[in-house]
Amino acid sequence: MTVDMEQRSRLLRVKLGALVRARGAEVVAEPAGVGAITAVLVDGHAFALAEEGTPSAASSALVWASRQAATGLTLFVDHDAEDVARWASYFVLGHDAVEVREIIGADSRPAAASPLPRPFGSAGSSDDEAVAAEGAAALIEQLRSAGAEVVVERGVIRGEVLGLEVARLVVWPRETGGDGNLHLEPGVGRFDRDAVAAAHPDESPSDGLDRSVHAVRTHRYPGAPAHPIQMLTRERWLRADLVASPELVGARRLRAVGMTTEANGLRDAHPAAAFGEDLDGRPLLVVCSSGVDLALVPLAADTRELLEPTARMVLALPERDHHAATLSLARMLRRPADVAVVPAGWGRP
């Protein structure tokens, strides 16, 4: 039997009330549904319930608690509470840490923060290993010769045009009939790479790459007429502009780096990071976003913790996406981030 949205919301409010009472607090006000969370204020302390442990849920709880002028925040999480505990550890509400509790039946227990993912983007990392792999140098040069920007993230080498993938270097594993070597596969994302291979089985990779680059550049350039291809991976487009012109965010140089999580597909919004130095030679992490993405600040802080915890961090956003929630979250970080307004490449000639 399907539970309708209103009934589900009512069940979540009841569940939160029971969890709060189990902590010895008396719930007087009715809990409210706030986006991905259910929340209530009890004697100045905020309690929130998130079914899914996502960075957006953590941000929603923090923003709601801040708007209520809460003196503290306890976040109950059904699934992936350990990840939420790690993201929450980067923030303070007032002067207090955020308490994250994993739901166990009708009660809860403190959630231990999960470890950071395997390091990447620095010396000895999977990014360096990918670039040093046999055959990579020639294929990277082929990407550059075709006019694609080479981006290495989490051990994956891509060719991009203004942040949109047009090719990828892929090992064809022997266990599935491949030769175990690195190959250039042209196409805009995974599904297009498969389609290109099926539709043009006799086409050389270099010809396929040229065709992909041309197809994207026809519609993806500053001031181009509206086209769906301009809407894809805008965060990465913004990053590509800043890597090319780091002075826009007060940087001496920047290079693209992967984050602790990645997008599931081209249509999924996901921040894009670049690491380098500011004008004084200090480490600088710049994280780009487009639209209002509540996952931005927790994931940016997570990536800083992985790459260089002491680095200055700048959140780069187009002017129209300079949202109050992002500013509030940036200020709540233990090591606050700066927010910079940068020109959106897709909106200028």
Angle, CA 287 vertex, CA 79 and CA 284 arms, to 5°: 120
Confidence of residue 83 (pLDDT cuts 50, 70, 90): very high
For 285-296, what is the mean pLDDT? 96
pLDDT at 253 over 60: yes
Mean pLDDT of the chain: 91
Give the pLDDT confidence of 307-347 residue by residue, as tens digits: 999 999 999 999 889 899 999 999 999 999 999 999 998 87
pLDDT at 77 over 60: yes
pLDDT at 2 over 80: no
Taking the CA atoms of the chain, what radius of gyration do you get in angstroms? 23
**Distance between CA atoms of residues 232 and 267, nearest Å:** 6
What residue ranges do the domains of the chain occupy?
5-110, 126-217, 230-347
For 259-286, what is the mean pLDDT? 93
pLDDT at 192: 74
**Distance between CA atoms of residues 179 and 138, nearest Å:** 17
Q: Which single residue is written with the structure tokens 């040069």? A: 141
Contacts of 187 (CB under 8 A, 6+ apart): 166, 167, 168, 193, 194, 195, 196, 197, 208, 212
Task: Tell which wins on pLDDT, 56 or 94.
Answer: 56
pLDDT at 107: 93
230-347 CATH choice from 3.40.1350, 1.20.1250, 3.30.230, 2.60.40: 3.40.1350
Q: What is the DSSP string of 152-176?
A: EETTEEEEEETTEEEEEEEE--GGG
pLDDT at 124: 41
pLDDT at 18: 94
Give the pLDDT confidence of 129-187 residue by residue, as tens digits: 788 788 899 999 999 999 999 999 988 999 999 999 999 999 999 998 889 899 999 99
pLDDT at 1 over 50: no
Residue 72, SS3? strand
Residue 9, SS3? helix
Give the pLDDT confidence of 9-63 residue by residue, as tens digits: 899 999 999 999 999 988 888 998 988 899 999 999 999 999 999 999 999 999 9
As to burial, measured by CB atoms within 10 angstroms (0-12 exposed, 13-18 middle, 19+ buried), residue 180 is: exposed
